[in-house]
C-alpha cells in the first residue's frame, strides 16, 4: 500500500544547482531550499523531489555519485540536509532524495577498488568482462583504463559504470546470475544507503533509471522487479511511511514491483510526450494537445494512459508532471493561457502530480551550451527567477560565476512580478492546487472516468462526484451529457452547464461540483 500522505501530495522538483544561492558563489544550495520552503508551501506544494545533491565530479549533474552518504560541499553539509528535513517537516512538507542505484561515478571508491588487478570485496560490484579486449556482448563498455584485465559495462554516460545486480539470463562466462551473492551484495549496499538517509529523516526516494538494474532481464523485467519488491519489504518493515517514485515510465511494471508512483514520462513517444511535447526533441513537430491551433487529439494520450490507469489504479499512482530536468520546459511551445490549461488538467488528474521549479511562472527553455552533461537538457536547468534584482534574485554572486546564466530577456518572468499580477500563471497554479487540497475528489485516489474525448469537443472527465472539462481550441465547444447535479465551481475562461449541455469557451477549463 502506498504511503497515506501521498494521497494529497503535490511535489515540487528542485534542481539544487539552480534554485537559490545563499552564499553568493553562483550555485544554489541546501540553505537556499530551506529559505524558500515558505514559497513552496504557499504555492500549494507539500513535497519535494531534490535532484542528486551528493558528492560527485558532476559529469552528469550529480547522477554520477562519488559518495552516496555525503552532501556535495558546493550545496552544503549533511547537517544542512538534515536541517532541511526537519524544517520541511515542521511546515508539513515531505522530502524525497534522488537515489541512483544503477551506476556510480567512475570516481566512486567502490569502482576504484573494482578496477584493481587483485581480487577484493568490490571486484564484482561492477560488471566486468574477463579479458582486456572483450566486447561486452551488446552492452556499452570501456576498456583500457584499469589495472585489471577486462572491460566494464556502462549504464549511461562514460563516467557511469553499471553496478552489478547480475543477469537474468546468463549467456557469457563473465556474467553472474541475479541471485549470485555479489549481486545480492550490491542490492544490500543500496538498501544501506536508503537506510542511512531515511534514518536521518528523508521521506523516500525518486529512483533514477529504476528498470535498469538486472541485465538481460525479460520483457517483464522480472529480475529487476524482484529487487524492488525486496526493497519494498524492507521499507514496509522499517520505514512504513517512506515513498518510492520510479523513473520507469511503465506504471504497470513499476507499481507491481512495489513503487508508490511512476512517472508518466515515456521517451518512446507515449505518456507526457503526447500530452505536452515530444520528449527531448524541441526541433520536432509540436503535438501538444493544449496548443490553441494544433487541433490536437487527446486520444493520442488516452490510448496509453487509460491502459496504464486501469491496470494500476488499486496499486499506486501515475505521476503527471509539468516537465522535469530532462525535458524541454513547456513554455517552449505553450503560451501563458495554454500553460494554464495544461497545468489545470495535470493537477486535476488522478495520481500524484509533480511541478518542476520555475514552470509555475512560465520560465523559458534557454538555448544554452551544455553544462555538466546536460546537453539539450541544460536549457531547462537555468536559475530560478525570483525578482527584478541582480541575477533575478537567484544569487548575489558575480554574473560570470553563475552556474548557468539567468534568462536575459526583458520580459523574463519572475516570482515577484507574477505575485503582483492576479491574472498570472502563478496565481492559477495556486488556485488550482488550493482547490485540489480542499476536495478529496480531485486528489490522488478519487476514481477517474472519461466522459468525452472526441475531437472537436471538450475533453471531459469525472473525478469522484466532480467533473472536469477543458477546451484548448480557439472557439467554444460543447457536448451533451448528463453530468448530474453539478455546476461550475472553478473556471479559467468561460463555461456553462445547463439542460444537459456543457459549453466550454475558447481556451477554457472548468471544474464542476
> Cβ-count burial of 355 within 10 angstroms (0-12 exposed, 13-18 middle, 19+ buried)?
buried
376 binds ligand NOJ (CB under 6 A): no
156 binds ligand NOJ (CB under 6 A): yes
304 binds ligand NOJ (CB under 6 A): no
Compare residues 263 and 461 and give the one whose CB is closer to ligand NOJ. Answer: 263
CA proximity to 407, closest of 419, 427, 393, 428:
393
User: Could you write out the DSSP letters of every residue in 44-103?
Assistant: T--EEEE---EE---SSTTSS-SEEEEE-TTT--HHHHHHHHHHHHHTT-EEEEEE--SB
Q: Find the shortest distance in angstroms from Cβ 51 to ligand NOJ.
A: 8
CA proximity to 35, closest of 19, 53, 55:
19
Per CB under 6 A, the list member of 15, 19, 63, 122 interacting with ligand NOJ is 63
CA proximity to 443, closest of 321, 505, 350:
350
Question: Which distant-in-sequence residues (6+ apart) come within 8 Å of 268 by Cβ?
Answer: none
Q: Find the shortest distance in angstroms from Cβ 159 to ligand NOJ.
A: 10
Q: Find the shortest distance in angstroms from Cβ 325 to ligand NOJ.
A: 6
DSSP state of 330: G
Mark 165-204 with x for binding to ligand NOJ (rule: CB under 6 A) and - for no binding.
----------------------------------------
Residue nearest to ligand NOJ (CB): 63
Contact 172, 128 (CB under 8 A): no
Secondary element (H or E) of residue 39: helix 37-43
Helices (H), 151-221: 181-200
Per CB under 6 A, the list member of 124, 203, 208, 262 interacting with ligand NOJ is 208
**Under rule CB under 6 A, how many of the chain's residues touch ligand NOJ?**
9
Per CB under 6 A, the list member of 45, 65, 209, 435 interacting with ligand NOJ is 209
DSSP state of 174: T
Q: Residue by residue, what is the 3-state secondary structure of 402-457? A: CCCCCCCCCCCCCHHHHHHCCCCHHHHHHHHHHHHHHCHHHCCCCCEEEEECCCCC
Compare residues 55 and 247 and give the one whose CB is closer to ligand NOJ. Answer: 247
345 binds ligand NOJ (CB under 6 A): no
Helices (H), 248-383: 251-256, 272-275, 299-312, 336-346
Q: Find the shortest distance in angstroms from Cβ 323 to ligand NOJ.
A: 12
Q: Find the shortest distance in angstroms from Cβ 354 to ligand NOJ.
A: 12
Mark 88-107 with x for binding to ligand NOJ (rule: CB under 6 A) and - for no binding.
------------x-------
262 binds ligand NOJ (CB under 6 A): no
Q: Find the shortest distance in angstroms from Cβ 301 to ligand NOJ.
A: 22
Helices (H), 91-179: 109-114
Alpha-carbon span 124 to 105, nearest angstrom: 16
Q: Find the shortest distance in angstroms from Cβ 157 to ligand NOJ.
A: 7
Q: Find the shortest distance in angstroms from Cβ 392 to ligand NOJ.
A: 24
Compare residues 125 and 325 and give the one whose CB is closer to ligand NOJ. Answer: 325
Crossing angle of the two packed helices 336-346 and 425-438, in degrees rounded to 10? 10
Q: Find the shortest distance in angstroms from Cβ 368 to ligand NOJ.
A: 16
Contact 215, 167 (CB under 8 A): yes
How would you classify residue 144: left for phi > 0, otherwise alpha for psi between -120 and 50, otherwise beta? left
Per CB under 6 A, the list member of 134, 286, 304, 326 interacting with ligand NOJ is 326
Per CB under 6 A, the list member of 29, 60, 360, 445 interacting with ligand NOJ is 60
Q: Find the shortest distance in angstroms from Cβ 282 to ligand NOJ.
A: 16
CA proximity to 331, closest of 289, 292, 366:
366
Compare residues 111 and 156 and give the one whose CB is closer to ligand NOJ. Answer: 156
Compare residues 54 and 309 and give the one whose CB is closer to ligand NOJ. Answer: 54
Compare residues 127 and 511 and give the one whose CB is closer to ligand NOJ. Answer: 127
Q: Find the shortest distance in angstroms from Cβ 377 to ligand NOJ.
A: 7
Compare residues 58 and 448 and give the one whose CB is closer to ligand NOJ. Answer: 58
- Name the residues that contact ligand NOJ, by CB under 6 A: 60, 63, 100, 156, 208-209, 247, 325-326
Amino acid at each position: 500500500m502506498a504511503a497515506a500522505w501521498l494521497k494529497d501530495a503535490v511535489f515540487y522538483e528542485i534542481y539544487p544547482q539552480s534554485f537559490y544561492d545563499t552564499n553568493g558563489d553562483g550555485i544554489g544550495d541546501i540553505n537556499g531550499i530551506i529559505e524558500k520552503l515558505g514559497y513552496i508551501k504557499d504555492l500549494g506544494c507539500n513535497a519535494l523531489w531534490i535532484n542528486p545533491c551528493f558528492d560527485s565530479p558532476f559529469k552528469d549533474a550529480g547522477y554520477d555519485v562519488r559518495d552516496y552518504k555525503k552532501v556535495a560541499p558546493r550545496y552544503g553539509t549533511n547537517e544542512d540536509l538534515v536541517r532541511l528535513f526537519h524544517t520541511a517537516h515542521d511546515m508539513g512538507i515531505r522530502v524525497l532524495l534522488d537515489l541512483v542505484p544503477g551506476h556510480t561515478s567512475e570516481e566512486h571508491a567502490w569502482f576504484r577498488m573494482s578496477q584493481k588487478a587483485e581480487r577484493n570485496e568490490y571486484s564484482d560490484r561492477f560488471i566486468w568482462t574477463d579479458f582486456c579486449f572483450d566486447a561486452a556482448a551488446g552492452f556499452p563498455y570501456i576498456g583500457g583504463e584499469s589495472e585489471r584485465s577486462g572491460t566494464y559495462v556502462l549504464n549511461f554516460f562514460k563516467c557511469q559504470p553499471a553496478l552489478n545486480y547480475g543477469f537474468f539470463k546468463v549467456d557469457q562466462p563473465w556474467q553472474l546470475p541475479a541471485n549470485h551473492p555479489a549481486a545480492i551484495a550490491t542490492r544490500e549496499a543500496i538498501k544501506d544507503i536508503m537506510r542511512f538517509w531515511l534514518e536521518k529523516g528523508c521521506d523516500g526516494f525518486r529512483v533514477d533509471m529504476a528498470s535498469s538494474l538486472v541485465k538481460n532481464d525479460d520483457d517483464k523485467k522480472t529480475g529487476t522487479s524482484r529487487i524492488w519488491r525486496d526493497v519494498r519489504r524492507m521499507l514496509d518493515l522499517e520505514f512504513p511511511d517512506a515513498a518510492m517514485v520510479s523513473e520507469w515510465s511503465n506504471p504497470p511494471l513499476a507499481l507491481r514491483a512495489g513503487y508508490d508512483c511512476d512517472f508518466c514520462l515515456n521517451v518512446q513517444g507515449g505518456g507526457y510526450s503526447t500530452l505536452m511535447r515530444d520528449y527531448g526533441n524541441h526541433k520536432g513537430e509540436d503535438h501538444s494537445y493544449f496548443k490553441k491551433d494544433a487541433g490536437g487529439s487527446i486520444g493520442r494520450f488516452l490510448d496509453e494512459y487509460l491502459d496504464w490507469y486501469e491496470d494500476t489504479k488499486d496499486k499506486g499512482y501515475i505521476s503527471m508532471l509539468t516537465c522535469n530536468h530532462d525535458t524541454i520546459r513547456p513554455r517552449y511551445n505553450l503560451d501563458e493561457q495554454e500553460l494554464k490549461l495544461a497545468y489545470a488538467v495535470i493537477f486535476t488528474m488522478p495520481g500524484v502530480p509533480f511541478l518542476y521549479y520555475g514552470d509555475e511562472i512560465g520560465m523559458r527553455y534557454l538555448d544554452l551550451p551544455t553544462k555538466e552533461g546536460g546537453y539539450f537538457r541544460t536549457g531547462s536547468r537555468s536559475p530560478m527567477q525570483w525578482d527584478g534584482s541582480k541575477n533575478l534574485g537567484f544569487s548575489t554572486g558575480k554574473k560570470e560565476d553563475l552556474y548557468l546564466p539567468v534568462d536575459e530577456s526583458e520580459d523574463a518572468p519572475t516570482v515577484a512580478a507574477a505575485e503582483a499580477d492576479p491574472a498570472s500563471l502563478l496565481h492559477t497554479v495556486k488556485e488550482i492546487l488550493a482547490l485540489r487540497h480542499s476536495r478529496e475528489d480531485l486528489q490522488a485516489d478519487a476514481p477517474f472516468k472519461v466522459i468525452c474525448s472526441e475531437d472537436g469537443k471538450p475533453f471531459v472527465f469525472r473525478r469522484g462526484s466532480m467533473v472536469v472539462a477543458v477546451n484548448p481550441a480557439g472557439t467554444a465547444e460543447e457536448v451533451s451529457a448528463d453530468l448530474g447535479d453539478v455546476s461550475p465551481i472553478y473556471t479559467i475562461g468561460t463555461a456553462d452547464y445547463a439542460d444537459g449541455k456543457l459549453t466550454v469557451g475558447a481556451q477554457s477549463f472548468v471544474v464542476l461540483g
